Structure 1
Amino acid sequence: MKKYLFFAASAALLMACSEKPGYDITGTVSDSNLNGKYVYLYTYGSNDAAPLDSALVQNGTFTLKGTQETPALRTLRFAEDVVEPVRANTGENAPFSATFILENGKLQATLGPSSSVKGTPENDALATLQDKIKATRQDWDKLIKDMKSEDKEVAEAAGKKLDEIDAAVTSFVKSYITDNNNKQSAAKLFYDFRYNLTEDEQNDIIAQADSVFKTVPGINAMIDHLNILKNVAVGKQFTDFEMADAKGQMHKLSEYVGNGKNVVLIDFWASWCPPCRREMPNLVNAYKQYKNKGFEIIGISLDSNADAWAKGVKDLNITWPQLSDLQGWKNAGAALYGVNSIPHTVLVDKDGTIIAKNLHGNELNAKLKEVVK
Structure 2
Amino acid sequence: MKKLLILLSLSLAVVACDSVNDGYVIEGSIEGENTEGTELTLRKYGENNQLITVDSAEVKEGTFMFKGGPAESPELHYIFFGRGQENIPVIVENGEIEVSAQRDSLSYARIGGTLQNELFYDFLKGSRVLSRKASSMNQDMRVAQGNRDTVTMNSLREEYFELMDEAKGYELDYVKDNPNAIVSALIIYRILSTKAKTNAEVQELYDSLTPEIKASNAGLKIKESLEKEANTSIGAKAPNFSAPSPEGEELALNDVLGKVTIVDFWAAWCKPCRAENPNIVNVYNTYKDKGLSILGVSLDRNAEDWKKAIEADGLDWHHVSNVQFFDEIAKLYNVDAIPASFILDENGVIVAKNLRGPALGQKIGELLQ
Alignment partner, residue 146 of structure 2: none
Alignment partner, residue 354 of structure 1: 350
Alignment partner, residue 194 of structure 2: 196
In the alignment, is the contact (CA less than 8 A) between 2:261 and 2:294 conserved in 1?
yes
User: 1: distance between equivalents of 2:312 and 2:170?
Assistant: 39
Distance 1:181 1:324, change over 3 A: same
Alignment partner, residue 37 of structure 1: 38
User: 2: distance between equivalents of 1:194 and 1:286?
Assistant: 31
Correspondence list, 1:47-126, <5 A:
48=52, 50-51=54-55, 56=59, 58=61, 61-62=62-63, 75-78=77-80, 82-84=82-84, 86=85, 95-99=86-90, 108-110=100-102, 112=104, 115-118=107-110, 122-126=120-124
Distance 1:207 1:275, change over 3 A: farther
Distance 1:310 1:235, change over 3 A: same
User: 2: distance between equivalents of 1:223 and 1:272?
Assistant: 31
Displacement of 1:43 in angstroms is: 7.9
Report the TM-score, using the length of structure 1 for normalisation.
0.63
Q: Which amino acid aligns with 1:240?
A: N
Given candidates 176, 183, 186, the residue that maps to 1:185 is: 183
Higher relative contact order (CA 8 A, sep 6+): 2
Given candidates 336, 342, 362, the residue that maps to 1:340 is: 336
Displacement of 1:175 in angstroms is: 2.4
User: 2: distance between equivalents of 1:327 and 1:24?
Assistant: 37
Alignment partner, residue 329 of structure 1: 326
Report the TM-score, using the length of structure 2 for normalisation.
0.63
CA deviation string 1:211-255 (max 9, x = no partner): 233354443244334334433332222222333322233333123
Segments of structure 1 that go 5 or more residues without pairing to the other structure are: 1-22, 87-94, 141-163
User: 2: distance between equivalents of 1:139 and 1:347?
Assistant: 43
Alignment partner, residue 126 of structure 2: 128
In the alignment, is the contact (CA less than 8 A) between 1:232 and 1:239 conserved in 2?
yes
CA deviation string 1:309-338 (max 9, x = no partner): 11111333323321223333335x334333
Q: How many residues align?
A: 307
What is the root-mean-square deviation in Å for CA atoms of aligned residues? 4.5
User: 2: distance between equivalents of 1:289 and 1:209?
Assistant: 50
Displacement of 1:188 in angstroms is: 3.5
Segments of structure 2 that go 5 or more residues without pairing to the other structure are: 1-24, 68-72, 113-117, 139-160
Distance 1:308 1:106, change over 3 A: closer
Q: Report SS of the residue matched to 1:115.
A: helix
Identity %: 24
In the alignment, is the contact (CA less than 8 A) between 1:184 and 1:212 conserved in 2?
no
Distance 1:337 1:106, change over 3 A: closer
User: 2: distance between equivalents of 1:298 and 1:239?
Assistant: 13
Q: Report SS of the residue matched to 2:109.
A: strand
In the alignment, is the contact (CA less than 8 A) between 1:101 and 1:184 conserved in 2?
no
Q: Which amino acid aligns with 2:80?
A: F
Q: Which amino acid aligns with 1:296?
A: S
